[in-house]
Amino acid sequence: MSQVQPPRETTATPPDALQPVLTGLRERFGQAEPQVTGHRGEVTVELDRAHLVDVATWLRDDPAARFRHLSDLSGTDYPDRPDRLCVDYHLYSLEHNVRLRLKVRVTVEDPHVPSVTGVWPTANFHEREVYDFFGVRFDGHPNLVRILMPEDWKGYPQRKDYPLGGVDVDYHGAHVPPPDTRRYKGGWTST
Amino acid sequence: MSEILRDHADEATRDVPQEAPEPGRPSTSQPVDQAVVRPGEALDLPPAAAAEHVTLNQRRARQVVAMGGGDWAEVTARADAEGDDDLMVINMGPQHPATHGVLRLVVELRGEEVVKLEPVIGYLHTGIEKSIEFRTWVQGVTFVTRMDYLSPIFNETAYCLAVEKLLGVEPPRRARALRVLLMELNRVASHLVWLATTGLELGALSVMLYGFREREEILDILEDVTGLRMNHAWVRPAGVVQDLPDGTEDKIRRFVRDMRAKADEYETLLTNNPIWLERTRGIGHLSQDRLIELGVTGPMLRASGLAHDLRKAEPYSGYEQYDFEVPTATGSDVYARYQVRLAEMRQSLRIVEQVLDSLPGGPVMIEDPKVGWPARLALGPDGLGNSPAHVNHIMGESMEALIHHFKMVTEGFKVPAGEVYVTVESPRGELGYHVVSDGSNLPYRVHVRDPSFVNLQTGGPMAEGLLVADVIAAMSSIDPVLGGVDR
């Protein structure tokens, strides 16, 4: 499986409304060194988990930012990276009508991320979902238990090394393999 | 019921809770082996390790009388006889006619009053997000359309907008207008189901019949256009798969005209109906700040007075060309949500008419052969779906066209690496797609921010202090679709 390149479109300028936010982030969290990248007009701030709650609180409360709406919180697994588990926070500012993505990466050995349920209570279900599917532990979450999978389920189904599963089908002499072995990445030729 | 009570017992036997559990929250964590309770057996728990710190849960667990089903009178009689407290935990759902699918509500009651309500979800989880990772970008459409089954066109459009943003392509103008047309019809259909089911749950049976009757007309139109009543897979990356068949425009115009009158009819049935007012006004109230905190969007948020609509805030698919209003109400209760949804149906009809009046001509799928779906389908009067011209071209004229057709259909196109988050305003609120591509022909990750999933978190805060019968109204006002919640 090929590694996803982090988006690096330095030419993309963030929307004007985001400029004071990014300046504020740089000034206030200089040591945190959030990495700012733009891609397809979307701005991503990658930061260390140690600063997550501080940055999140500031983004929610600062008049220039006012990201009161945590739109989405999702996990992604990049098995080729050492810090393979990635949590994305999609923020939306109702006042300024701009979006911002925060990104935190952790390892499988130490999958701890501070919970943002204290900043945005809506993160409750989202964090349970990311825990359920990727095994990220959100420290400080009030009730971090599985949400969609059965409570006694083993493993984290949306990690890339977790198989999709499925059964072979034989029909009229034709053999149809299960879906996860049926198609090859990059096309039929590159088996 | 006994299962829930056992969970309580587990919580009580845990010496030191790892993270401070919220008082009274039923645990759904890994079951602990000790303290196995059989139905009908009162618990005799060992004293908690730190006796001075007996949590509410632990106190409750000592009062637990476990019973499984049976006649309600017997259950209450035994609870009276054996329980020390009048607190009762009951399970509503997952198989309950008033839970809009397989939603399970764990409700703690003191008499008729709700002390705590916790939604338990996952009964309809089908692993759609995982499955998409093993299909091509185009095949992804057939999966996302099955998530929120009452608003399939929105799912398809949001997914396709995300793929198009990654590709850096724009569908033709006619395709964009057709998407808006079907989305707004779909919104009316979805709100009609909400009206019908909520009416049913609150005893307004005629509204149920009318709502489903009108929805059926919309489903007929959708079937004409897409071939299916639900799960259409009609919106595709960079366009739509098929143009409107002949006569559909007139059919839609007729429907819009009739629907206006019928919306008035619903108003005469409900808006000033004293029973409806009694059952909905002041029920399930949440302040605007609380709603924003909980990430709520859509009609629920607009019913608190905030005119936030992504069609206006971040227009997509050409919504900026259409003249429509964002209805808001101030009550932030079930009645206000009813008002907003009814007004939204009227606004959607306005948009539908405007789309029909300004429908541009031209193709419905992008011309670029590297992205556009190669198969040309045109349902003829003979009922056959193939385009003879296209079949003739690939089978008789051009070997390259045949190879291209085969490769596009089997492996699909490659999408440049990157990630996007795209949102649309679905009938239930902000429907977001976080799509990651690693540059190959299969999606790397598709995560769906389903509005029902997020809005369901208001269930607990809304229900506290309500009567059981009002819980039905409050939960119904969320308009949860469990196919989208569980994915």
- pLDDT for A115-135, tens place per residue? 999 899 999 999 999 999 999
Inter-chain contact A40–B423, Cβ cutoff 8 Å?
A: no
Q: Order across the sheet with B429-437: list the strands.
A: B418-426, B429-437, B445-449
Mean pLDDT, range A1-28, rounded to an integer:
60
Alpha helices in A62-164 (DSSP H): 123-134
Lowest-pLDDT range of A27-41, B151-165, B198-212: A27-41
Separation of first and last alpha carbons in chain A: 12
B94 upstream amide cis, omega within 30 of 0: yes
Q: Which amino acid is at A44?
A: T
Q: What is the pLDDT of residue A183?
A: 58
Backbone angles phi, psi at A74, to 5 degrees: -135, 155
Nearest CA in chain A to B165: A40
Residue B479: name the closest of B450, B442, B436, B449 by CA: B450
Beta strand A42-46 with A98-106 is parallel
Contact between A156 and A134 under an 8 Å Cβ cutoff? The reply is: yes
More confident residue, B49 or B118: B118
Residues of A (29-48) whose Cβ lies below 8 Å from B:
39-40, 42
Tokens at residue B124, please? 């309809």
Alpha helices in chain A (DSSP H): 19-28, 52-61, 123-134, 179-182
Which secondary-structure segment (H or E) carries A71?
A: strand A69-77
Q: Is A78 a member of any domain?
A: yes
Nearest Cα of chain A lies from the Cα of B456 at a distance, in angstroms, of 9
Nearest CA in chain A to B440: A186
Residue A182: name the closest of B315, B133, B30 by CA: B133
The Cα–Cα gap between B130 and A159 comes to 9
Interface test mutation site (partner A, options B403, B409, B454, B482, max chain A beta carbons within 10 A): B454
Tokens 């599985």 sit on residue: A146
Contact between B388 and B412 under an 8 Å Cβ cutoff? The reply is: no
Tell me what the pLDDT averaged over chain A comes to.
80
**Is pLDDT at A138 greater than 60 in this prediction?**
yes
Residues of A (119-178) whose Cβ lies below 8 Å from B:
120-122, 124-126, 129, 140-152, 157-158, 164
Let me know the angle formed at the C-alpha of B79 by B74 and B82, rounded to the nearest 5 degrees.
120
Lowest-pLDDT range of A5-19, A47-61, B310-324, B420-434: A5-19
Residues 6 or more apart whose Cβ sits within 8 Å of residue A135: A85, A108, A111, A156, A159
Tell me what the pLDDT averaged over chain B comes to.
81
Q: What is the pLDDT of residue A136?
A: 92
**Radius of gyration for chain B, computed over Cα atoms and rounded to the nearest angstrom:** 26
Which secondary-structure segment (H or E) carries A42?
A: strand A42-46
Q: Is A167 a member of any domain?
A: no
The Cα–Cα gap between B292 and B308 comes to 11
Give the three-class secondary structure for A143. coil
Interface test mutation site (partner B, options A73, A122, A191, max chain B beta carbons within 10 A): A122
More confident residue, A165 or A4: A165
Chain A residues with CB inside 8 Å of B297's CB? 69
Q: What is the pLDDT of residue B451?
A: 93
CATH T-level topology, domain B128-168+170-367+416-486: Cytochrome-c3 Hydrogenase; chain B (1.10.645)
Contact between B477 and B456 under an 8 Å Cβ cutoff? The reply is: no
Inter-chain contact B434–A72, Cβ cutoff 8 Å?
A: yes
Inter-chain contact B417–A7, Cβ cutoff 8 Å?
A: yes
Contact between A67 and A92 under an 8 Å Cβ cutoff? The reply is: yes
Q: How confident is the model at residue B25 (pLDDT cuts 50, 70, 90)?
A: very low
Chain B residues with CB inside 8 Å of A71's CB? 295, 421, 423, 430, 432, 449
Q: How confident is the model at residue A9 (pLDDT cuts 50, 70, 90)?
A: very low
Q: CB-CB: which of A74, A121, A180 is closest to B447?
A: A74
Chain B residues with CB inside 8 Å of A185's CB? 440-442
Q: Does B314 touch chain A (CB under 8 A)?
A: yes
In tens, the pLDDT along B198-221 reads 988 888 888 889 989 999 999 999
Q: Sign of dihedral through CA atoms B476, B480, B483, B485?
A: negative
Q: What is the pLDDT of residue B49?
A: 39
Contact between B136 and A183 under an 8 Å Cβ cutoff? The reply is: yes
Parse chain B into domains and list their residue ranges: 2-85, 128-168+170-367+416-486
The Cα–Cα gap between B182 and B248 comes to 12
**Is pLDDT at B364 greater than 50 in this prediction?**
yes
Residues 6 or more apart whose Cβ sits within 8 Å of residue B390: B375, B376
The Cα–Cα gap between A146 and A131 comes to 7
**Is pLDDT at B193 greater than 80 in this prediction?**
yes
A174-178, B305-309, B368-372 — which one is most confidently predicted on average? Answer: B305-309
Q: Is A106 a member of any domain?
A: yes
Inter-chain contact B418–A7, Cβ cutoff 8 Å?
A: yes
Inter-chain contact B306–A42, Cβ cutoff 8 Å?
A: no
Q: Does B399 touch chain A (CB under 8 A)?
A: no
Number of domains in chain A: 1
Q: What is the pLDDT of residue B38?
A: 43
Chain A residues with CB inside 8 Å of B442's CB? 183, 185
Q: Is A3 a member of any domain?
A: no
Contact between B81 and B40 under an 8 Å Cβ cutoff? The reply is: no
Q: Is A166 a member of any domain?
A: no
Nearest CA in chain B to A120: B293
**Is pLDDT at B366 greater than 50 in this prediction?**
yes
Q: Is B30 left (phi over 0), alpha (psi -120 to 50) or beta?
A: beta
More confident residue, A93 or B38: A93
Q: CB-CB: which of B27, B122, B306 is closest to A148?
A: B122
Give the CATH number for residue A113: 3.30.460.80
Q: How confident is the model at residue B256 (pLDDT cuts 50, 70, 90)?
A: very high
ipTM: 0.85
Q: Is A116 a member of any domain?
A: yes
> Domain of A65?
16-159
Chain B residues with CB inside 8 Å of A182's CB? 134
In tens, the pLDDT along B292-304 reads 989 999 999 999 9
Q: How confident is the model at residue A176 (pLDDT cuts 50, 70, 90)?
A: confident
Q: What is the pLDDT of residue B385?
A: 66
Nearest Cα of chain B lies from the Cα of A11 at a distance, in angstroms, of 15
**Is pLDDT at B6 greater than 70 in this prediction?**
no
Mean pLDDT, range B324-330, rounded to an integer:
89
In tens, the pLDDT along A42-57 reads 888 888 888 889 889 9
In tens, the pLDDT along B36-81 reads 444 444 444 444 333 344 444 554 555 555 555 567 777 667 666 6
Mean pLDDT, range A12-37, rounded to an integer:
69
pTM across the whole model:
0.81
The Cα–Cα gap between B374 and B379 comes to 16
Q: What is the pLDDT of residue B20?
A: 44
The Cα–Cα gap between B29 and B11 comes to 9
Chain A residues with CB inside 8 Å of B436's CB? 4, 76
Contact between B259 and B346 under an 8 Å Cβ cutoff? The reply is: no
**Is pLDDT at B282 greater than 80 in this prediction?**
yes
Nearest CA in chain B to A6: B418
More confident residue, A63 or A185: A63
Q: What proportion of chain A, given as a percentage, has pLDDT over 70?
A: 82
Q: What is the pLDDT of residue B83?
A: 59
Q: What proportion of chain B, given as a percentage, has pLDDT over 90?
A: 26
Mean pLDDT, range B431-455, rounded to an integer:
91
